[in-house]
Structure 1
Amino acid sequence: MKGLFFACLVSAALLCHTQISAQKKVLDHTVYDSWQSIGETSISNNGAWIVYAVNVQEGDNELVIRSADGTYKKTIARGYNATITEDNKFLVFRIKPLYAQLREARIKKKKPEDTPKDTLAIIELGKDSIWKKEKTKGFKIPEKSANWLAYHLEKDTKAAAPKGKPVNKTADSLMHVIDSLQQVIAAQTAAKGKKKSKKDDETIEELYALIDAEGDEPGGSNAETGSTLVLRNLATGKQQEFKNVVKYYFDKNGTRLLLEQSKAPGDSLSKAAVVLVSLQQAKADTILLGGNEFKNFEFSEDGTQLAFIAERDAAPKALTKTYKLWYYTAGQDSARVLVDNTTAGLPAKFTVSPFANISFSKSGKKLYFDTAPIPTPKDTTLVDIDLVKLDVWHYNEDYLQTTQLSRVNRTREEDFQAVYDLATNSFIQLTSKEIPNAYLTNEGDGENVLAVTDFGRRVESQWTGNTKKDVYWVNVQTGAKTLVLKNMNGQLSPAYISPSGKYFIWYNYDTKSYHVSDGKATRNISQGYTYPLWDEENDTPSDPPAYGFMGWDEKEAFVYVYDKYGIVKLFIAAGKKPEVFLTGRPQKVVYRYIRTDREERFIQPTQELLVRYFNDVNKDAGLFIYKAVNDKYSLSPVIAPAAISLGMPYKAKNNAVYAVTEETYQQSPNVFAVAQAGGNNYTAKQLSNTNPQQSGYNWGTAELYKWKTFSGKTSTGILYKPEDFDSTKKYPLILYFYETLSNGLNSYIPPAPTPSRLNISFFVSRGYLVFAPDIYYTKGYPAKSAYDYIVSAAKDLSKHKWVDGKNLGIQGQSWGGIQVAQLVTMTDIFKAAWSGAPVANMTSAYGGIRWESGMNRQFQYEKTQSRIGATLWEKPQLYIENSPLFHLPKVKTPIVIMANDADGAVPWYQGIELFTGLRRLGKQAWMLNYNGEAHNLVERKNRKDIQIREQQFFDWLLKGAKPARWITEGVPAVEKGKSWGLELVD
């Protein structure tokens, strides 16, 4: 018996030990920094190589090189900015210094030149040896050539001239003259027993002035000394150096290298220059010598032509500078001026814009650039202390003063498009202040550009959020403007123009249809289609947007657009009704085309289309090829639909191989190589394995949960449960919400210090349930709608024995934060509430400013997210009903408010109104103001801080944990920067 009893004790002990050892750790605030994510990803043109970064939240990343078949792997610590060469042979990348070194440099406030620098690295794919070059600051490879690499070295600070001493030969000579003259004068005056005369001093001062004058030559951007650029032949390893390079560019095909060189330090006779290097002939030609500023270099498609902006004549402190458009083509000795202030056709008092966007047409026959009014020089006679600081707000200005001030730099840089016809040597101004925006057609070779303007109708954007527009064809040869559409209310973008430029389409908000125009006649081309081409679930007072535009048919006979579940063909010519091209409507599956060729201009009839599959019911995702077989289209799976979420796939240019990330809530994103295995079959190979440490932590699960709202509607949300969930236990529940979130069922949520959203994985790991409900709104009643969905969900979940209905919390940020503030005035079922950046008072917020953009907030209430749908004067009762401030006496729930003083979306005084009202009423309320922070926290240190406080708050109220001192006592201003109040109190 004793032996049996002892054996039982041993067995029990072993079982107990097994259970204890099987228990996993819960996530805490120390795990964030090392948690991994997939960063930059690329695939070679032949599909044989996939390169990706494994990034940590704070620390040193890794660059990983994998063969697509998984047989080769090379990991480079701190590698980034990787480029695979066109011929699939080499990988060129940069290596960062250690994070600890960079952090130390920031702590010590080292100068930029004294901080650790990047290293350039090259590896031949499939091999292990790495060529490295330290102290580099960037590299470039031609877009469509594999032979060449140019890399830029950091400046040699040791070779820099000491401060306060002359840096050129002339100055050195003059200094010697001064020294000699001073000695001669000193000797003479000593011999004569006299002092230096005023004339002697003037002579010396004149010589010093010469040195100053020498150093005051026109500087511009070239006042910054360049550094050495190295041109390397990747095939042979041979290198060539170029000194004093400021900027450099390859043409697309890798036939030429352009260099902007500064004056050589210490050489007063040298000049800034633009140099063109022929890579085939290994020959460098100076195409422009001398000047202050060069910018916006652009090659033609074939690389034989070059254009740029230069300013060459202004004195260093000139109040006005004029720029010229320079042009070079093969066969010229040097660049020549194409456009300057005297060019015929240039508007009066205009110049070439220093901010010009330069582009050649595809054929190279036309050159597009921008012009701008010559700026008014600053009046230097005005004394700053006498200037009145004043903003004058005028009722009929296009934009509010706040908007103007937020856009002041953009306004200073405003310019207007022009074109130079290189065949006829003619200049045409295309746009103006009245018609400021233009879209090129036929890759710049079209007869017209499509110009769009809302000039004279911008005031109404204050309350509508958008403007009506006029649309013109502008002839590229003559500049003649033809009005095509008047007061267009809809969506129009460059993609809506046909490849040849003959047609354009737009989505009309008024008719909820697509229309087409050839500049002479317009026609509704979606009329008669059975289903909406606009957002079927739009629940704001605004016009519902279209689902989107896919592309043009190669022959311009039709366009492809989206409805909710698929792709529709709309025919350009009259007489044909819209046709379904691909749909998943019966199964409620959404199909969307994924463009893998960035140069694609149209859809070809025989083209294989990669389409994304998303099941709107169970949230499964997949990838398919949709292609024509015997004039019939069929779907074949690349990645079969599954309970996963997919990242953007990258396709090899020349083979059916894809690099794509897959993830679930339980599995962090990993890179897969997906390759065609024969016929329509594809195989997937997992290449990465991120966050293996997760297996040691109590994670969680995510599932769809459906319930009926108080109004009888069925809705869906995501219920997150701890990995060790036990249905016999009770768990506190936090509801987190922001409009609709259920499509994110299979998205991975890393434990991370968030900008102010709920850190879901963190709370789930620590024994909380989290529920994210979808919310749909009735216009005019956002608070009641939120109550209908959120409170009904909380009560429905509380029916389960495993939900602790007495310990419910709510958390929301921005629009979600507003609704948290609303809900605590409407119910007392929540024991804790956290509201980030809420609006408390819609009546004062209605006329307020979004300080980041300077826009007035009226459009939000009348047309968009706030969903009132009327002005404050039309329906004041709705503004009051949906404003928590007016209902604060009903609040019983303790609430934390985050309101930051640099919030550019919600004025932080809204948080103050909420807090001071609650304080006046003796309610439990706290407000966190992260100084200088935005609407969503930016600085990582602040994000970490709020995660700690949020945990402490919910643990105190929902789990009965000890409160922190900031909760019980606050943090007095005198303690700011000394104590943060995070310590727990008894």
Structure 2
Amino acid sequence: MSTAIWGQNNIPEKFRNRYYKIQDLQMSDDRKHVAFNKAYQQSTDTVALVAANGSDSVLLDFPKTIRSAFTKTGNFFVRNTKNAELVLLPSLQKIRWEDIQGAEYSKDLNLILVLKDHLLQVVDDRGNLVRTVQDVHSVHNKEGNLFYTRKHDLQYQLHQLTERSSTLIFESKNEKLDVFQLSPYAYIVFELVEKQNDVHFIDILENHQAKLEHPSLTGISCLMQKPVQIVKGQIFMDLIVKTTPKDRSAVEIWYGNDNYIIEHTYDKGGNVFVLWNPYENKVIKLEDPESTRFFHNGSKKYVLAFDPLKHRDYTKKLPPFTLYRYDIASKKQELLADTGSVVYADPTGKYLATLKNDVWWLIDVETKAEVKIPLKTARAAYFSNDGKILLFENENSLTEYNTGSGKLRDLTVPKGYRSRIISDNYVPISPGSNINRTNFDHGKKLYVQLWNRSGNMTAIASYYKGRLEILMPPTEDYIGDLEVINDGSSLIYTRSNVNMPPQIWWKSKQSALVYDSKKQDQKATGIRSEKITAYNSEGKEVVGVLIYPLDFDKNKKYPMVTAIYESQTFESNKYLVDGMFGSTEGINGRHLVENGYFVFLPSIVYGARGAGFSALDCVDAQLDALQKYDFIDFSRVALIGHSHGGYETSFIATRSDRFATFVSGAGNSDLVRSFNSFNYNFKSPFFWQFEDGQYRMPGPFASNKELYIESSPVYHAENVKRPILLWAGKKDDNIIWDQSMEFYLALRRNNKKVTALFYPEDGHTISKIENRIDLYGRIYDWLDHHLKDVKKDWIQKMDN
């Protein structure tokens, strides 16, 4: 069993991670083999190869993998930083190349490139040598296209590999070359020259080359996105250029109407947007007083523009946009539309969809017409490839909208289920803003995952030509990592539960078990969970999760650790792995249940009085619902949380005597201070987190002063009745460590039993391995000390 992660030999036995989850599924075209990554707590680079026959055994493991793929004939290519292998299947015969400089596989060409000692070997997918090339310095796989750089007569030549030979793309005296293919015959090449890039265009069909030159384009560092050839002779590029850092010693002027507060703290990005006609050597730098960002939405006529900070008043997590339309032919920019904070573009460039003021709108980019879609609730939108159909993920339905006729139709899903489209075609087209191109092929099956929140049930359906068909009925098992097989006729996915290690399933007309990882974890079958339903003071349903101790005996009484953070019903079927991670930072559920604890994960629904009072109300209701279980010792119950859960823990500690002890990590204690702070993690004033985010306050501090103060643990430290452990990283850019330190001081001043752990070199979560071992160890000590009466010297110092 592999434990080669995080230097496991240096990790104490009780903290080691032996069990893995499964991710990044691949299936061979002949459906005979599957590969996946073993997901450990700090490493996911071990690839496992298994036979797709329901086996519980791994054929081969490949540690430290950086590339892997099935070939067209069903063999398996894999490489790490030093070696590459081709595994011939089903014989498992290996062809191995050691001490390589690089290796790549292209499924389009069905060829493997292996570079060693500057000799490039071109190999077919059965391991046969096709040809060799001398004096090669690097190889690259760019979206399935294979390139290599070769030195010849003091020049570096960039070649594209073809099935039978190769094509010379570019020559330079500089070795560092990067390439982007725009079309079968057109390329953009980045040439690193004295710490900056020269940009070249090459058309091998017309034997034309051009260099990008413009006075503002000095010091090009990189591309923000892949260049787009809108039409022949018009290339759109989002470039990053080096900028002079702002003089931070100069006075800063902050105005009361300033939407650009971030620029006082961070330098403006060096984005430069250009339209380049390399055939006429014309460059247009796109700039406008109303726009700081440009993006291409797929249109042949337009580029769209906006200023992401124009409407940023920091009371909402995401601001709305005012979009402009730049006409490529006329070189004029004009107002297109005001949108919401999320925009979806269709692949043809004709339409945009946006949720604005709780109403969905369809915007025609060419006519500027805006059509109101009679739909309010939806989570995401996907266009068909031709832009004629718009699908909305929704509660209780998958909603289909015809962009031509305007007809809206709900495709019914089981009651209480929400739909989620399974697609990789969700592509950000303006990095940093929530503007995305989404699409699906209307001529193929589209798979849809259905999820019921209160029951934590999952089903799978398919959408095809206007019909929704349930393929897998609802199950309590966790269904994840869904991957559509290349031809779209089937999919593979993982299936697991709290007492069932991950399995891999294949779904076509029938369902078939592909692989079962049960051998890795025989103990898991002894773990069970139960959903606990209660109702808060407003009559709203809350469903928590109770996880039983391993080897549970109903005639015994057990202590319980209650870990809090938002709604946690979805944890009821999560496979519990060991190690130093879990749903709450600082504890591992598997460790606790193996050491005689119940673990309870309450859920929170939020009301008008904000997060603190809502958490207290819901936790009380769920603890009341647990009272019928006489095998839980309610005099030995702890409450623990991290981040927002840390805040909720600290708040409840000032209001409740139902817990024997508390552990609060990296949580706010003073909401007034936090509301009026700048958050360096989100790079924003923190108003929005209270008015539009996790704290669910009914408004700003000015109009809710009493509630903000009542909701702040630091102002009520005198009410804490039980010992509390606080912890934080002193480099936390999200919730500054002062929030924990000041709560500690308030508790200390009021003579409360408090201990604080502060880690100078860590942030919001604890990443340094020695500190992580320390934190988890001390929290387990704290729980054992207060819930099991296992005395720990370092804790008893608090009592002296």
TM-score, length-normalised on structure 1?
0.72
1:516 and 1:572 in contact (8 A); partners too? no
CA shift at 1:759, angstroms? 1.8
Deviation of 1:814 (Å): 0.7
Q: Which residue of 1 aligns with 2:37?
A: 53
Q: Determine the C-alpha separation between the residues in 2 that align with 1:352 and 1:615.
A: 52
Amino acid in structure 1 at the alignment position of 2:421: Y
Q: Distance in 1 between matches of 2:389 and 2:44?
A: 50
Would the alpha carbon gap of residues 648 and 874 (structure 1) be closer, same or farther in structure 2, given more than 3 Å must change?
A: same
Q: Aligned partners of 2:519 and 2:609: how far apart in 1?
A: 45
- Per the TM alignment, residue 93 of structure 1 is displaced from its structure 2 partner at its CA by 0.9
Q: Give the structure 1 partner of residue 201 of structure 2.
A: 327
**Structure 2: distance between partners of 1:473 and 1:668:** 52
Deviations 1:490-544 (A, max 9, x none): 321xxx2233222222111x243334334434334322x5xx41xxxxxxxxxxx
Q: Select the structure of larger CA radius of gyration.
A: 1
Tell me how far apart the structure 2 counterparts of residues 750 and 758 of structure 1 sit (CA, whole Å).
12
- Hey, what does 2:83 align to over in structure 1? 119
Give 1:662 shift. 0.7
Which residue identity lines up with residue 361 of structure 1 in the other structure? Q
Change in 2 beyond 3 A, CA 1:953/1:84:
same
Which of the numbers 341, 357, 365 marks the counterpart of 1:490?
A: 341
Q: In the alignment, is the contact (CA less than 8 A) between 1:230 and 1:242 conserved in 2?
A: no
Paired position in structure 1 for 2:451? 614
The residue that corresponds to 1:66 in the other structure is 50
2:276 matches 1:415? no
The answer to whether structure 1 residue 965 and structure 2 residue 793 are counterparts is yes
Could you tell me how far 1:250 is from its partner in structure 2? Answer: 4.7
1:643 equivalent in structure 2: 476
Measure the CA separation in 2 of the matches of 1:126 and 1:848.
61
1:248 to 139, 143, 148: 139
How far apart in 2 are the matches of 1:332 and 1:40?
A: 41
1:548 pairs with 2:380: yes
User: How far 1:448 moved relative to its partner?
Assistant: 1.1
**How much has 1:735 moved relative to structure 2?**
1.5
**SS of residue in 2 equivalent to 1:745:** helix
Matching residue of 1:299:
181
1:446 aligns with 2:314: no
Task: Give the equivalent residue in structure 1 for 2:783.
Answer: 954
CA distance in 2, matches of 1:844, 1:253: 52
Alignment of 1:380-419 (within 5 A): 389=249, 392-395=252-255, 398-400=259-261, 405=265, 407-408=266-267, 411=268, 414-419=270-275
Partner amino acid, structure 2, of 1:249: H
Between structures 1 and 2, the one with greater strand share: 2
Distance in 1 separating the partners of 2:596 and 2:317: 44
Tell me if 1:353 matches 2:235: no
After superposition, give the CA deviation of every residue in 1:408-452 in whole Å (9 maximum; x if it has no partner).
4xx35x22222234566543334557423333233xx62112222
Count, aligned residues: 774
| Residue number in structure 1 paired with 2:500 | 667
Give the 3 Å change call, closer, same or farther, for CA 310–655 of structure 1 in structure 2. Answer: closer
Within 2, Cα distance between the matches of 1:377 and 1:806? 58
1:592 to 2:420 alignment:
yes
CA deviations 1:783-828 (Å, max 9, x no partner) are 2211111123223323432221211210111111101111111121
Task: Give the gaps of 5 or more residues in structure 1.
Answer: 1-27, 96-116, 157-226, 265-269, 342-347, 379-386, 534-545, 971-984
**Cα distance, 1:855 vs structure 2:** 2.4
> Which stretch of the first structure deviates more once superposed, 937-946 or 639-648?
937-946
Query: Paired residue for 2:559?
Result: 732
Query: Does the CA contact (< 8 Å) of 2:533 and 2:625 recur in 1?
Result: no
RMSD between aligned residues: 3.4
Does structure 1 residue 40 correspond to structure 2 residue 40?
no
1:752 aligns with 2:585: no
**What residue in structure 2 maps to residue 502 of structure 1?**
350
Deviations, residues 724-750 of structure 1 (Å, cap 9, x unaligned): 333332222222111101022211121
Please list the CA deviations of residues 569-594 of structure 1 after superposition, one character each: whole Å capped at 9, or x if unmatched. 234346x452212333xx21233221
The answer to which of 728-737 and 46-55 deviates more is 46-55
Shift of 1:871: 2.6
Matched, 1:514 2:344: no
Q: Which amino acid aligns with 1:929?
A: F
Q: C-alpha displacement at 1:714, in angstroms?
A: 3.1
Contact 1:467 1:489 in 2 (8 A): yes
The CA distance in 2 between the partners of 1:505 and 1:59, in whole Å, is 39
Q: How far apart are 1:273 and its partner, in Å?
A: 2.2
- SS of 1:820 mapped into structure 2: helix
Tell me the residue number matched to 1:90: 75
Paired with 1:858 and 1:601, the residues of 2 have a C-alpha distance of 31
When residues 595 and 252 of structure 1 are mapped into structure 2, their CA distance, relative to the original with a 3 A threshold, is closer
AA matched with 1:565: N
Partner of 2:221, secondary structure, is: coil
- In 2, Cα distance between equivalents of 1:855 and 1:571: 39
Q: CA deviation at 1:846?
A: 1.9
Contact 1:46/1:654 (<8 A) preserved: no
**What is the CA distance between 1:475 and its match in structure 2?**
1.7
Partner of 2:318: 466
Partner of 1:289: 172
Question: Is the CA contact (8 Å cut-off) linking 2:18 and 2:578 kept in structure 1?
Answer: no
- 2:129 paired with 1:237: yes
Q: Which amino acid aligns with 2:349?
A: G
Q: How does 1:166-177 map to 2 (within 5 A)?
A: none
TM-score when normalising by structure 2? 0.88
Q: For residues 593 and 334 of structure 2, what CA distance do their matches in structure 1 show? A: 62
Question: Which residue type is aligned with residue 355 of structure 2?
Answer: Y
Separation (CA, whole Å) in 1 of partners of 2:629 and 2:239? 68
Give the SS at the match of 1:135. coil
Deviates more, 1:823-832 or 1:41-50: 41-50
- What is the correspondence of 1:859-874 to structure 2 with a 5 Å cutoff? 859-874=688-703
- Using the TM superposition, name which of 414-423 and 929-938 deviates more: 414-423
Please name the residue that 1:543 is paired with: none
Change beyond 3 A, Cα 1:827–1:151:
same
Q: Distance in 1 between matches of 2:316 and 2:39?
A: 42
Q: Distance in 1 between matches of 2:130 and 2:727?
A: 59
- Listed as ranges, the matches of 1:564-603 within 5 Å are 564-573=395-404, 576-584=406-414, 587-595=415-423, 602-603=439-440
Q: Distance in 1 between matches of 2:570 and 2:660?
A: 28
> Do 1:901 and 1:932's aligned partners in 2 also have CA atoms closer than 8 Å?
yes
**Amino acid of the structure 1 residue aligned with 2:292:** P
8 Å Cα contact 1:296-1:358 kept in structure 2: no
Tell me if the contact between 1:350 and 1:372 (Cα under 8 Å) persists in the aligned partners. Answer: no
> What residue in structure 2 maps to residue 218 of structure 1?
none
Corresponding residue number in structure 2 for 1:924? 753
SS at match of 2:585: coil
Instruction: Report the Cα distance in structure 2 between the residues aligned to 1:253 and 1:724, rounded to whole angstroms.
Output: 51
Query: CA separation in 2, counterparts of 1:617 and 1:456?
Result: 39
Select between 660-669 and 865-874 the one with higher mean Cα deviation.
865-874
- The 1:793–1:360 alpha-carbon spacing in structure 2 relative to 1, beyond 3 Å, is closer
Residue 562 of structure 1: aligned partner: 393
Instruction: Give unmatched runs, 5+ long, in structure 2.
Output: 1-11, 428-436
The amino acid that maps onto 1:502 is: K
Cα contact 1:90–1:122 (8 A) shared by 2: yes
| Counterpart residue type for residue 528 of structure 2 | T
**Aligned partner letter, 1:609:** L
